[in-house]
Structure 1
Amino acid sequence: MNHLVKGITVSTVAAVLSVSAAQAGTVLKFNAGAIDTNKLTSNYAASWMMEAKATEYIVQFKKAVTEKDKAALKAQFEVFGYLPDDALVVRGIYSDLVTFKTNHPGVQAVVKYAGNYKVSNSFAPASVFTKDNMVAVLVNTFKSHEVEVIASKIEKMDVKVAVQVVDGKHITALIPRGLVPAVAALTGVEHVQPAPVIESLHFAMDEDLADQVSATAAGDYSDLTGDESGTRLMNFDAAWAMGYAGKGQTVSMADTGLDSGNTGAIHQDFAGGVISGYPFGLWSKSWSDPMGHGTHVAGSVMGRGTASKGLLKGGAYEANMVAEGMWSPMMKNLSVPSKLGDLFEKAFADGARIHTNSWGGARTFGAYDNFAVQVDEWSYANPDMLILFAAGNSGADKNKDGRIDSNSMASPGTAKNVLTVGASENVTKSGGIQVPISKLRAAKDEWPSEPIYSSYISDNGNGLAMFSSRGPTTDGRTKPDIVAPGTNVLSVFSQEKDASPLWGAYNKDYVWSGGTSMATPLAAGAAAIARQVLVEKLGMKNPSAALMKATMLHTAVDMYPGQFGEIGAARGQEILTRRPNSDEGYGRVDVANIANLGGATQFVDNRQGVAQGAEVSYEFTLNAPGSLYANLVWTDAPGSANAAQALVNDLDLVLTLPNGQTLSMNDHINNLEMIEKSGLPAGTYKLTVKGFKVPQGKNGAQAYALVYTAK
């Protein structure tokens, strides 16, 4: 029974939030290790305290960084970014910084930003035996206009060095392993990591299953049940029936390309729906798709279903597409631009407000690396585009306990501001891979234990794909954010010669595949419908990415305990806790819930935001006992790839009950918070967003989105 929410009021309060001694800035948290600045000795600075040349230092404050602190530093020094806890990276001369510390009692410490703090943990250990081994590195600089000078310095370090790409603030180079510390020590260098190996995130099918796969399909559509595209399980039909199919929305996809790469001569399922296309692959002049992966992805987003007479449509089949091809004909593989913002900027300029990406660095498990930082940097500067990334296909049960192991997330899916999508199971009994997992070649190494070993991959809508990467991230954040069907999904077959049949061709127009690559575009189609609902039904003319993300989380379905039931961890229970968790995130996307939004659900898209030490409250009244589900999302400032914690601006969501009791997640790791509580007594409640720490706010505040349902 629904109870109307009455008396909604909003109040803004300037409150002083106390910072306890335990929260004060005394530790610098690097991936390379923590530094207790209370324990620094005078000898610590001996090697660099006499330097007269400006370089990078870390200025840590005794309490949360304030706007006054930043202004004081900026008046004398260049200020670059935030490091936990309560520190800012600056460029200056050490003696001047010591004077600043003397004149500002709130400063805890001034520490040289040494090269060893800037080197990624992803490098193989250096030794006398490996120092001459050539490694491909990605170097990030603090300032774009210094990148050429820094590239020149790197090139002069050794005759074997080859600087390959200089783009924006990024340098890709081939250097001896032994030179990595020297590169990191250069003034102006922010981070050095191995150049990521980028892969499309479809799950590679065993070659020995190819005959079985192709034999399962009738190819004339007579055997289709409606489940094959994955849209039925997500309840797209309900949204379509209400008139929501993505009309007026533009989605961009960066992938292996899209069919012919010619809007005037393209597969009939995309005719009239692709408004532009761009080549990004190295040595490529076309955005065509000779591989097939991108075409399958695009079909799941907005394929019209023309060839199948409407039987195999994408989730947002009335939406438009901006296609971005990253296939390199020379490399025969994806080649992602080192400056990821180029992808997003092109699409944004053409009207896209959703950008879907089914690729990632599959071997960057859990890392908040250079690519993740770049995505967060661009999204923070451009908060109106929701960017989706696939979680990865590295899920495995290496410890043989019958549960998929944690910490296998792929970057940039590790970024804070993206909507990261894992793969749940589709439900279909024909096409694709229709054998027990035990029959897969990798099963004995990757999934050797029950109940996974003898299960099928598309027989349970509450199941997760065994290959879907799990979180959390290395710094403990919950990922993925949501899941969508990613096993045995039928979508469009690229018409380019020699395009891969992926998991098997259904006919000349459609092909089976699976992976988080397939789940992500289905979620992107749902996001297009969410945006259409927000704009058309709820009157929100330009919803932020944070609001779209909050809407997707708010309407997802909790899949707890997963496909094997509440059998306990020792017997392989798939999902051990209620959402959010790092198996399903906030749950499986449900488009019917999106289409039915309204009524008791309230939407807040606060562009001004909340400042540090301030709070914004929303009152509501339950006229009878009921429940609350609330999701707070903010597009956070980019963190540092060198830091052990990615979160920068930290907000809290607090529920105050009629009796004055408060409830909160007390989460200081994620840029998402939620409260889900049933059995609430009748009465007036206050839902409050608090600015706990906002060191990198715009105009001193952090914008946020809040979606809540009280009924």
Structure 2
Amino acid sequence: MKTKWHAALSSSVAIALLFAAMPTFASGTTLEDFTGKELSLRNKNTELAQPHVLRTAAVKSRLVIIQMAGPVQTEWKDELALDGVLLGDYVPDYSFVAKLSEDTDQSKLKQYSFVKRIVPYRQSYKISQELLDAINRDGSATVAIHGLQAEMGRKITTETITKRDLAGYLASDDVVAIVPASKRVPLNNVASGIIHADKLADTGHTGANQIVGVIDTGIDSGKKATLHPDLRGQVKELIAVSRKGDASDPNGHGTHVAGSIVGTGAASDGKVKGMAPDAKLIFHSVLDEGDSLAIDDDNLTAMLTEAYDDGARIHSDSWGEDHGSGEYYSDAQDMDRFVWEHPDMAILVAAGNDGSDEGTISSPATAKNVIAVGASESVRLALKDRSADNPDDIAYFSSRGPTIDGRIKPDVVAPGSMILSLRSQLAAEGEASADQGIDPNLYTYMSGTSMATPILAGGVAQIRQFLQENGTSDPSAALIKAMVINGADDLNQDTMAQGFGRANLRAAIGTSYIDEQTDGLQTGNKRTYTVQVTNTDQPLIATLAWTDAPGSVTALDQLVNNLDLTIDTPGGEIYRGNDREAPYDDEADETNNVERVIIPHPVKGTYSITVDGVNIPKGPQHYALVSNATIGENQTGSDLKKETHTGTVRTGSLETKVKEYAIKTGAAGTISLSLNWKSEANLHLYLIDSKGKTVAKATNRKGKPKTISYTGKKAATYTVQVRVLSGEADYTIELKYPKKQVNK
């Protein structure tokens, strides 16, 4: 079921979400028959208009679509894997693009009760008719070629292909989609007061010990020793990507962005400072000789990884698609995958500057796991600029949502009009006025969602410092996103213009939160928390956010793992996440990976907040829950037994290579395992049942910790096994499992 606001989308967007004509499979089965409702495939035509392109169509493909009978269970995926099935992109509802091994027996797969249908993955699903027409017209096109996005990692390449190449790509079992390669373009002392960053600065939260990554045009002179006075000592790493050895900024965009984050105010006697002057930057300069941004699917992930490996846990990206269309392109998928694999990296992306029309949000701001930032107005009355005269208005240029699949974007807005920040010494003359006490050679005004994004990125550095100083050493990106959204001020603007509201950092840190990074949910799991309301003068607000598995460019709907947020009031009323029209209990959001509930006039008493794992095809799913009232104990987790063990494993004899722990659950419920170590050794984690069968494992996912979340259907005995494949490691393993009946 879609939410009410989703049903009220403009006709142009709504039409894009429907099938123009129901295609027919070879058996005569329509997509509607196949799924029980429409399968969310982006390319819906059964046969392309130019069949001569498909010269190798007769070659038998091992790519199929497997639809399951209902919400996806982990055990089902395990069974298919044992039969040689590699599951790739999730396609709503309850389906996967999959690759069969040469030994896979399809007749055996069809005998499983949970397998509803297996149908061929057609070549026509790999490319749109529009792109095919363009290649035939122009002779070639630069495209992003997507392989099967399995759990083993990313498979995307950017290439220029010709008409002659196309048939081979379409026939290949290593290709699931061919999509256009996006062209990327560049998209404060007043702003700090509007989002209350100054209040955090007054308490000493100025971004200390935080590192922010930036990809932009360049930074001032490009040399650390001769940078703008406000940036000297602020840049940890300066990396020239496109113009080798030259990270300078003749454009001026990147310098302005950098100043909004970490500018010290050294050249203005503190009048013009960034949001987080005690933070540091890792800056990738990507302006090429043609004044374009050299960002593509091959280097975006590499730059994000380089920043992450050098300590950045916040990333600010003021660039995007040339003309926003709400599409989920490759760079949006790249962003989602990066945060999925690095869940403590908060990425902020500019929404775009395509104005007041709906559906103009730019990729990669269409990514689910980023904080997409639109622009509200700043206040510069002396400039007599109508775009900067009302802080409660949305800037006229700020791109609007929804995304093509109906998600709320931008997530929030921040001041983005007439932002005063640093001028590159190589850029055009600044617009600041000397009679304002500001040197126009050093400072200038710029407007755009490009300016709003670093304003909030600096604010996120303040929030992250606050969290670390208050006991959360490694906050997740989902937590930071949920805090920003929960504290946002409603500007009474259209949701697709303001998102969840304008950022309010003071309100963001005044929240209670659960940052669930260990005991993720699987399909059917629920967690219930309590909040006690004593202050009835303010609304009760709760926000649930989760870092979702990357979506598929072959699918129209991008949500993979679906969680639901509900609040039960003392009087027996029920509120559902993102259901904003009375009654508040009849619409479940199946579209967004952020859900918020606002109860405007709460009564005193105890409220129950439930997080429900409705459908988790790629679990376990971790989450963050935030409220402006104190969140109490997890009622469903209080009956868990918890153990912590330490040990050492090393390659050599069997006695030192494998360590085992026996556990006995007292009821059905979730078993959660978390294995961590500090060395470079390669460790795997297994959960084995009493018959010796491996029921869950953590072997393929890179990084630490290795985690397992497995739902047992009854009380049982298991063996937990830690195994080293190479090296030596001192490890710690945490075990949590039900000791008596768990409230489901």
Indicate whether 1:584 and 2:498 are aligned: yes
1:111 aligned onto 2:119: yes
For residues 363-386 of structure 1, give each alpha carbon's deviation from its aligned partner in whole angstroms, at most 9, with x where no partner exists: 251001111111111110110000
Cα deviations by residue, 1:675-704 (Å, 9 ceiling, x for unpaired): 10022222221101010000011xxx2000
CA RMSD of superposed structures (Å)? 2.9
Partner of 1:232: helix, strand, or coil? helix
Q: 1:239 to 1:686 in 2, by over 3 A?
A: same
Partner in structure 2 of residue 517 of structure 1: 450
Which structure would you say has the larger RCO, counting Cα contacts within 8 Å and 6 or more residues apart?
Answer: 1
| Structure 1 residue aligned with 2:62 | 55
Cα distance in structure 2, aligned partners of 1:332 and 1:126? 26
Q: Find the counterpart in structure 1 of residue 625 from structure 2.
A: 706
Deviation (angstroms), 1:656: 1.3
Pairing 1:254–2:215 present? yes
Contact 1:137 1:172 in 2 (8 A): yes
Counterpart in 1 of 2:139? 133
Q: Can you list the C-alpha shifts for 1:608-641, whole angstroms capped at 9, x where unaligned?
A: 2222101111112234646410010000000101
Do residues 29 (structure 1) and 40 (structure 2) align? Answer: yes
Q: 2:359 aligns with which of 393, 407, 410?
A: 407
1:120-152: CA deviations, max 9, x gaps? Answer: 57637459xx445332222122379999xxxxx
Distance 1:111 1:522, change over 3 A: same
Q: Residue 572 of structure 1 aligns with which residue?
A: none
Report the Cα distance in structure 2 between the residues aligned to 1:144 and 1:549, rounded to whole angstroms.
Answer: 26
Is 1:325 aligned to 2:311, yes or no?
A: no
- Distance, in Å, in 2 between the alignment partners of 1:323 and 1:260 is 13
Distance 1:625 1:144 in 2: 48
2:527 alignment partner AA? V
Per the TM alignment, residue 169 of structure 1 is displaced from its structure 2 partner at its CA by: 3.0
The answer to whether the 8 Å contact 1:633/1:672 transfers is yes
After TM superposition, give the deviation of residue 511 of structure 1 in Å. Answer: 1.3
- Counterpart pick for 2:372 among 415, 420, 438: 420
Q: Is the 8 A contact 1:628 1:676 kept in 2?
A: yes
% identity of equivalent residues: 35
Opposite residue 148 of structure 2, the aligned amino acid is F
The partner residue of 1:684 within 584, 592, 606 is 606
Distance 1:503 1:693, change over 3 A: farther
Opposite residue 231 of structure 2, the aligned amino acid is F
What corresponds to 2:468 in structure 1? 535
- Alpha-carbon distance in 1 for matches of 2:176, 2:220: 39
Q: CA 1:325–1:137 in structure 2 vs 1: closer, same or farther (change >3 Å)?
A: same
1:197-236 correspondence to structure 2 within 5 Å: 197-201=183-187, 230-236=191-197
Residue in structure 2 matched with residue 268 of structure 1 by the alignment: 229
The verdict on how the C-alpha distance between 1:95 and 1:347 changes in structure 2, with shifts beyond 3 A counting, is closer
Taking the aligned partners of 2:312 and 2:327, their CA distance within structure 1 comes to: 28
Aligned to 2:673: none
Say which is worse superposed, 260-269 or 359-368, in terms of deviation: 260-269
- 1:334 alignment partner, SS class: coil
Alpha-carbon distance between aligned partners in 2 of 1:229 and 1:97, rounded to the nearest angstrom: 66
For 2:297 and 2:528, the matched residues in 1 are separated by 42
In structure 2, the residue matched to 1:69 is 76
Q: Is the 8 Å Cα contact of residues 143 and 160 (structure 2) preserved in structure 1?
A: yes
Deviations 1:397-428 (A, max 9, x none): xxxxxxx2200010000000000000111100
Alpha-carbon separation, structure 1, partners of 2:137 and 2:563: 44
Determine the C-alpha separation between the residues in 1 that align with 2:546 and 2:247.
33
2:189–2:273 contact (8 Å) kept in structure 1: no
Farther off after superposition, 137-146 or 340-349: 137-146
Per-residue CA deviations over 1:145-204 (Å, capped at 9, x if unaligned) read: 999xxxxxxxxxxxxxxxxxxxx7333233346865653342211221122111000xxx
Out of 382, 401, 423, the residue aligned to residue 342 of structure 2 is: 382
What is the alpha-carbon distance in structure 2 between the residues aligned to residue 367 and residue 198 of structure 1? 14
**Match for 1:193 among 134, 158, 179?**
179
Q: Which residue of 1 aligns with 2:564?
A: 652
1:120–1:286 Cα change, 3 Å: farther
Counterparts of residues 294-693 of structure 1 (less than 5 Å): 294-329=254-289, 331-339=290-298, 340-395=300-355, 404-431=356-383, 434=384, 456-496=386-426, 499-501=427-429, 507-536=440-469, 538-560=470-492, 575-576=493-494, 581-594=495-508, 597=510, 601-623=512-534, 625=536, 627-665=539-577, 666-693=588-615
Cα distance, 1:145–1:615 mapped onto 2, change above 3 Å: closer
Q: CA deviation at 1:468?
A: 0.6
1:605: how far off? 3.5
Equivalent position SS for 1:347: helix
Whole-angstrom CA distance in 2 between matches of 1:70 and 1:233: 49
**Superposition deviation, residue 659 in structure 1:** 3.5
Contact 2:376 2:393 in 1 (8 A): yes
Distance 1:655 1:26, change over 3 A: same
User: Within 2, Cα distance between the matches of 1:662 and 1:24?
Assistant: 30
Residue type of the alignment partner of 1:199: V
d(CA) in 2 for partners of 1:144, 1:539: 35
Kept in 2: contact 1:617–1:687 (CA 8 A): yes
Q: Which moved more, 1:630-639 or 1:169-178?
A: 169-178
Letter in 1 for 2:362: A
Q: Is the 8 A contact 2:85 2:104 kept in 1?
A: no
User: Secondary structure of 1:254's match?
Assistant: strand
> Residues 144, 649 of structure 1: CA spacing in aligned structure 2 closer, same or farther, 3 A cutoff?
closer
Report deviation, 1:272.
Answer: 1.3
Aligned residue identity for 2:271 = L
TM-score, normalised relative to structure 2: 0.72
Distance verdict in 2 for CA 1:178–1:603, change over 3 Å: same
8 Å CA contact retained: 1:392, 1:409 = yes
User: Equivalents in 2 of 1:593, 1:145: separation in Å?
Assistant: 37
What TM-score, normalized by structure 1, do the two folds share?
Answer: 0.76
**Structure 1 position 142 matched with structure 2 position 148:** yes
Residues of 2 paired with 1:177 and 1:474: CA distance?
29
How many residue pairs are counted as aligned between the two chains? 573
1:34 CA drift (Å): 8.7
Q: Give, in whole Å, the separation in 2 of the partners of 1:58 and 1:94.
A: 16
Shift of 1:49: 12
Give deviations 1:432-459, integer Å, cap 9, x for gaps: xx55xxxxxxxxxxxxxxxxxxxx1111
1:88 aligns with 2:21: no
Opposite residue 75 of structure 2, the aligned amino acid is: K
Helix, strand or coil: the match of 2:308?
Answer: helix
Map of 2:704 onto structure 1: none
CA 1:483/1:261 → structure 2, altered by over 3 Å: closer, same or farther?
A: same
Asked whether the equivalents of residues 25 and 64 of structure 1 are also in contact (C-alpha less than 8 Å), the reply is no
> Which residue in the other structure is 1:280 paired with?
241
**Distance across 2 between alignment mates of 1:255 and 1:288:** 11
Deviation at 1:108? 1.4
Q: CA deviation at 1:709?
A: 1.5
Structure 1 residues 384 and 25: CA distance shift in structure 2, 3 A: farther
Specify whether residues 96 and 60 from structure 1 end up closer, same or farther in structure 2 by C-alpha distance, changes over 3 A only: same
The gaps in structure 2 that reach 5 residues or longer are: 1-31, 47-54, 434-438, 578-587, 631-744
